[in-house]
Copies of this chain bind each other. A is one copy, B any other.
Amino acid sequence: MPHLYVEYSANLPGLPEQQMLTELVSAVCSHPSIVDEFDVKGRIAATQQYVIGTGAGPRGFIHADLRLLSGRTPEAKKELSDLIAEVLRRLTPHPMGMLVQVSVEITDMDRASYHKSKL
C-alpha cells in the first residue's frame, strides 16, 4: 500500500523523472517493512507555480511524501525517509547559484478504513 508522491519546482531542468522514480521505488521496496513490491506506487510531477520564502535569489525544491499504513515503527519510518533522501540528493540537479531544498515526509494512513483490492 505505500504511496509515494514526488514534486519539484519546475526550475530544475534535466531532472531525470523516470529514473528517479524507478530508483525511489526500488529503494522503498528494499526496506524489510515493505512486504509486496507490487504495492509501492510512485508518482512524480513538476510544480509550475510556486513561491519559496520571501527572500531574493534563485531557489528550488524537491519534496517526497511517502504514505504508509499506520503501524510502522519510528525507526522504520526514519530509515525509509533516509533511503528516499539519498536518491533525491543524488539525482536532483542543482543549477549554479541556486539553493535547492530537499525534504521527505512520512505520513501514516488510517489502517482500519483503508481499502485495497485488485481488478
Contact = CB atoms under 8 A, between A and B. Distances in A.
Contacts of A114: 81, 103-106
Given A21-B50, A41-B101, A47-B43, A110 B107 contact: yes
A44 B52 CA distance: 12
Copies of this chain per assembly: 3
A44 to B, nearest CB: 5
A113 B49 contact: no
Interface in A57-87: 59, 61, 63, 67, 74, 77-78, 80-82, 84-85
Contact of A40 (B53, B81, B94): B53
Contact of A38 (B18, B42, B59): B59
Interface residues of A, number: 65
Interface of A: 1, 3, 7, 17-18, 21-22, 24-26, 29, 36-45, 47-55, 59, 61, 63, 67, 74, 77-78, 80-82, 84-85, 89, 92, 94, 99-110, 112-119
20 contacts: A1-B103, A25-B52, A37-B53, A40-B53, A40-B54, A41-B63, A42-B50, A43-B49, A43-B50, A74-B113, A77-B110, A78-B112, A81-B113, A92-B119, A101-B116, A102-B115, A104-B113, A104-B115, A107-B109, A108-B110
